[in-house]
Every structure is written in C-alpha cells, then in structure tokens.
Amino acid sequence: MTVAPLSRNRDYRLLWFSQAAAEFGHNATTIAFPLLVLAVTGSTAASGLVLGTIAAAQLVAGLPAGALADRWNRKRILLSCEAAQVLAVGSLVAALATGAATVPHMVAVAAVLGVCTALFEPAEDATLAALVPADQLATAVAANGARTSLGQLAGTAAGGFLFAAARMLPFVVDAVAHLLALITLAFVRVPPRERRPAPLRHLGPEILAGLRWAWQHRTIRVTTIYAAVLNLFFSAFYLVVIVLAQRRGTPAGEIGVMAAMLGAGGVVGALAAPYLQRLLSPYVSITAVFWILAVLTPLTVVVHGGYLTGAVFAGMALLAPTANTTIVTQQLLSTPDELRGRLSGVLALLTGVAGAAGPVLGGVLAAAVPATTAVLLCTAGITAVAVSATASRVLREFPRTPVPVSG
C-alpha cells in the first residue's frame, strides 16, 4: 500500500500548524514577561522570580508529566494544556487592562505556563509517533524542529515590538495564538490506544519504570548524557558571550540580532536535516555538532560586533537539527508506546536541568575571570565532551535505521 506523503497527512499538518501558532505566542510572551515585570514593579528580582517560576514549574512537573502522558488520553492533555494557557494569559490581559496586575498573579500565570509546557511536550512527542508512519518520522521530527526555530525567531522579534506598542499586546497575541491552537487541535484525529487505568498512588512506580527504561537502554542513556553535558557548557558560553558583547559596547540592537541568528541557523539546519540525515551517518552527524561548537566558540574571542558574532552563532546551529532528528527518531521508534511519554519527560528533565545550570555556571565564570577567559574555559569543556563523544563506541554503533519495537 502506498503511504501518502507527510505534506498530505491531515492530522500531522493540523498538529504542526496549531503548535506553530502556539510557539509564536509563547515566545512573544517569554521576551515580554520580564519587560512587563520591570515596567510594573521596577524590580529585577521580581523579574527573575517570574522567569524562574516558569523554569522551576517545568522541571518539577517534568517526570510526573511524562508518566501522565502514558496514563491519560493524550489528545485531552494537549487540549487541556492549550485551554489552561488561554485562561491564564487571558487573566493577565484582563488584569493589565484594569490596572490590577500584581507579582503574585504573574507568578501564578508563570507557574501555569511552566506546568503546561511540561505536560504538553511528552504528550505531543508520543502522539507524533502515532500520527506519522515510521519511515516518515525523521522528516516529521525535522519539520517540528524548524517550527520551533521559526517560532523562537519570529515570536521573540515580534514580542519586543508588540510590548513597545502596548504592554498587554504580546499577551493578547499569545492568548489568541493558544486559542487558535486549541481549536485546531480539536480536529486532530489521534488513533485510540489501549490504556490501563491505575490508582494515582501507582504514579511513582510508573515514573521509576520510565527512569529505568531510559537508563537500561544504552543508546538512549549515552546520547542523553552527552546532550545534557553539551547543553550545560553551551548555555554557559551563551551567557558569557552576551556579557562579553555588552562589555565591548555592542549596541543592544546588535545583541538582539546576534541572538536571533542562532534561531535563523536552526531554521536553515532544520530544513536541511532530512537530506543531511540521509547523507551522513548518525555517528558523523552527532559528533560533528560537538566539533563545530569546539571550533567556532573560541572565534567569539577575536570576532567583534553583534552581526559577525551572530554569523558564528548561525554556523553553530546548522548541524544541530540533523543530530537531533537522528537521536529523537531513534528514541521514539525504539521505545514502546506505553513508555514514550515517560521517556520524553525524563529527557526534558535532564536537558532542562543542564540548561538551567548552564547560565549559573556562565555567570560564575564571567564574575571570576575575564569574559574572554570564560569563553575559552567553556570551549575547553565542549572540546572535552567532543573528544569523549568521538571515542564513544555507542555513538559509533548508533543505528542508521532504528527497528520499531513491537507492542
């Protein structure tokens, strides 16, 4: 039987477009939230509290969210998360319109956004494998990567302009975007699956089962550890480079372009990922990301100006989507459906912890040594990981075409 191309997969298209809208709104809010807190309170500590709440809620909810995605109806999780975000952001819009916005209210909204993100991601990841045939899954993963990069690029850029026009405008756009996503998702047909209802007290053992699966599966364990460590050093490097640019007197507008170029490189890389995945072996595509970062990160010491540094950033992002497509496709196909949500929750938690710890490490380095030295220390960490990944037998034997599990 001939399988229709992904472009004609109605349910996947609906899922993709719904989340393209949602991610645009989410990123507009992400950039506007700290600006709003500063405008309302004048407190950088309050701004950090709100942003920290989003990250903390996402991390705390990560493991239970994965288990719940395996236990509950996944489409209902997706719809509930979108509805909750419409209500939460809508309440903030109403508070801003009436002049009643407070820090506790904004913290509560931030907590809802973090929990919804934690719940949505494993449910979507697990649903994706049910909507798309196995031989098209890599293309779908790459297209989702392009969607995320586009949302980050466009939403972040738009959020600043919208906030400049009116404080509540980015949040109005976000609420409307999630409402559109909610309506679109309602028309997605998710194949039914057998579920075994269990008491809530069984949630802990179910989470542990997901952790054991991820740890016992050697390829998943090794790739996750390498990804988390790389994320740690790159997140630290990213903050240090921003500090370095500020100390060099780079205009804020150029720094914004510099950050956006990372997303632009990700978009180009995601579009090329399906072709590069067929051209390159998994081992080459994965280890190349480490070595490209190891080679390009020290260039930021000698390259001056936001635009040139942005070009370096774009180069760093080009091959990452290919490696991500290779790894995520293998993980989804090698994991039983009843464990896919928990696997996604475990991976999100580990990479999230590394992503949160990275800026802390970068801040400590930037305060302790000159920024150029801090860049080189981050480069040394990335290079050490690259050497280890290159020598890894597990990565050398990474399967090109994963065999889907049965059951």
Mean pLDDT, contiguous 10-residue spans, the chain (407 residues): 74 94 89 80 73 80 84 91 96 92 90 92 89 86 86 81 86 95 94 66 75 85 91 87 82 72 86 85 94 95 87 91 88 82 81 78 85 92 96 90 46
The pLDDT value recorded for residue 54 is: 82
Question: Rounded to whole angstroms, what are the CA distances from 397 to 237, 330, 386, 391?
Answer: 30, 13, 16, 11
The pLDDT value recorded for residue 81 is: 96
The pLDDT value recorded for residue 2 is: 58
DSSP designation for 298: T
- Residue 373, number of CB atoms within 10 A of its CB: 14
The pLDDT value recorded for residue 181 is: 96
Rounded to the nearest 10 degrees, what angle do helices 137-165 and 320-334 cross at? Answer: 120
Say if residues 218 and 394 touch (Cβ distance below 8 Å). yes
Domains plus CATH for the chain? 1-186 (1.20.1250.20), 209-407 (1.20.1250.20)
Which of 71, 157, 1, 63 minimizes the C-alpha distance to 337?
Answer: 71
DSSP designation for 132: S
Say if residues 67 and 123 touch (Cβ distance below 8 Å). no
Triad 179, 38, 357: Cα angle to 5°? 80
The pLDDT value recorded for residue 261 is: 83
The pLDDT value recorded for residue 406 is: 41
Triad 21, 340, 404: Cα angle to 5°? 110
The pLDDT value recorded for residue 101 is: 86
Alpha carbons within 13 A on the beta-carbon side of 406: 0
Residues 292 and 304: their CA atoms lie apart, in Å, by: 20
